[in-house]
Amino acid sequence: MVSLETIVHQKQSGGILSNTNIQYIVNGYTSGVISDDEMTAWLNAVFQNGMSHEETLDYTRAMVNSGVTLDFSHLPGYVLDKHSTGGVGDKVSLVLGPLLASCRCYVPMLAGRGLGHTGGTIDKLESIPGYKTALSLTEFQKVVETVGVSIMEQTKEICPADRKIYALRDVTNTVASNSLICGSIMSKKIAEGVQGLVLDIKVGNGAFMKSLEQAKNLGILLKEVGELYGLKVSTCFTDMNQPLGQTAGLWCEVLESVECLKGNGPSDLMEVVYHLGSKALEIAGIENSKETLKSNIKNGRAFEKLHEMVFAHGGNLDGLNNPRLHKPKFRKEIFAKEDGFIGKMDTLQLGQAVVQLGGGRIQKNDKIDYSTGIRFHKKIGDSVNKGEPLMEIFCSDSERLKMGSKKVKGIIQIRGGKTINYPLILA
């Protein structure tokens, strides 16, 4: 076996690593033999020089083999999952998981925490009083079998390598690498034991993929890896040149998701939900997919599934009507400085502002402020008058509010002429 230093140098020089060397890196870091600093050097080398197709397959395989895999083949319905590459205000999983379960599908979903400037489903769910994101595998399987959907964080048993590497990537600016993204996403989905997977690959200034071409390259890679493991994979590409929905943050996104399941969701968010949901049901062989999804929103079955899932995880949705729960101590509105139309948003900066406010982690062990968030009053293409509020930022720390206020200044551009909205569904 060559030394770790040699392996890192080889990748820094653009070399191709063997399966044995990749296994050594993954297993060594998981077991603690390789330190955070040593792993960071390797991640930076991969980030700068990429991985070959074979290296990516080997990396994904090593991540899967670092833990156990689940088997849901005994269930009387199709086993599905959905995954997003991450965006600002992207709370689709909170809506779509219960919605698919209401359509007689089973959804075992292993979700992540915030990564870089993007929000994490697990951080959002932990804002619900009592909600346990760390279930045992036995508990997880039971919830999936009885409720139809369970969303939890990775356990020590499932892809422990990814769990540890994921947290390190978040604080070392090594997120936007196709190979690392592929390994992280597909290892969890393969280990979940799903039959079908819908991938929502975000594109735009608030996504890791800035162009549709980049996104399609990632989509091809993800689909190939998934199909090698027998999964049916559908790739979708959606816009992230502005936040999705009306809020970005933690508790505020949970509240917005509830409104979606009650039939009161914003049109842009629901368009993405229905598009991804239709693709998922098509994989499962369920006809009239979009109509079925809309019907289960209207008749309340989807919202009931959310209730059941939260209760099964030890949580309580009664707090939804509690005005004191995660009530931010400080708020500030950002106003338009001129008349015109919203022409552009720097969505990356908006995501970073949420982190600055306390809704994400700058250091690996940072605590989260669940009250943090941004509410958007205007979106691209909307008309605006001077002095009209563009957004409201809120959190529970006055100093963070000041920093967040500075961060959001000037990141919404107002133009004199009417602008054309970006299409939400790109391909």
The single residue of 113, 164, 188, 223 carrying the catalytic annotation is 188
Distance of CA 317 to the CA centre of its chain: 22
What pLDDT is recorded for position 419? 74
The single residue of 58, 81, 123, 162 carrying the catalytic annotation is 162
Weakest-pLDDT range from 3-7, 71-75, 97-101, 347-351: 3-7
Strands, E, within 307-388: which ranges? 330-335, 340-345, 373-376, 383-384
CB atoms under 10 Å from CB of 14, counted, come to 10
Q: Is the pLDDT of residue 25 over 80?
A: yes
The owner of tokens 């060559």 is: 2
Condensed to tens digits (0 to 9), the pLDDT of residues 328-343 reads 999 999 999 999 999 9
The single residue of 61, 91, 124, 169 carrying the catalytic annotation is 169
The amino acid present at 422, given as its one-letter code, is: Y
Q: How many CA atoms lie within 13 A of 17 on its CB side?
A: 32
Binned at pLDDT 50, 70 and 90, residue 114 comes out as confident
Q: How many CA atoms lie within 13 A of 298 on its CB side?
A: 6
What pLDDT is recorded for position 414? 94
71 classed as catalytic? no
What pLDDT is recorded for position 357? 93
Give the mean pLDDT of the chain: 93
346, 409 contact by CB (below 8 A): no
162 classed as catalytic? yes
- Nearest CA-CA partner of 121 in 111, 129, 131, 130: 111
DSSP-derived secondary structure for 111-122 = E---BTTB--HH
188 classed as catalytic? yes
What are the start-end ranges of the H helices in 66-159?
A: 92-101, 121-125, 137-147
Q: Is 207 left (phi over 0), alpha (psi -120 to 50) or beta?
A: beta
Out of 3.40.1190.20, 3.30.930.10, 3.40.1030.10, 3.40.50.720, select the CATH number for domain 80-320. Answer: 3.40.1030.10
- Mean pLDDT over residues 131-151, rounded? 97
The CATH superfamily holding the domain 4-50 is: Transferase, Pyrimidine Nucleoside Phosphorylase; Chain C (1.20.970.10)
- CATH architecture of the region 330-415: Alpha-Beta Complex (3.90)
Binned at pLDDT 50, 70 and 90, residue 364 comes out as low
- Nearest CA-CA partner of 146 in 308, 297, 280, 281: 308
The single residue of 184, 187, 234, 257 carrying the catalytic annotation is 184
What pLDDT is recorded for position 308? 97
CA distance linking residue 110 with residue 67, whole number of Å:
14
What are the start-end ranges of the H helices in 345-388?
A: 347-354
The owner of tokens 């947290």 is: 167
**Helix, strand, coil: what percent of the chain each, to 5?**
45, 15, 35
Condensed to tens digits (0 to 9), the pLDDT of residues 143-187 reads 999 999 999 998 889 999 998 998 899 788 888 789 999 999 999
CA distance linking residue 414 with residue 243, whole number of Å:
16
- Mean pLDDT over residues 362-371, rounded? 82
The single residue of 11, 83, 223, 232 carrying the catalytic annotation is 83
Domain-by-domain residue ranges, the chain? 4-50, 80-320, 330-415
Q: What is the pTM of this model?
A: 0.90
Q: Is the pLDDT of residue 115 over 70?
A: no
What pLDDT is recorded for position 116? 66
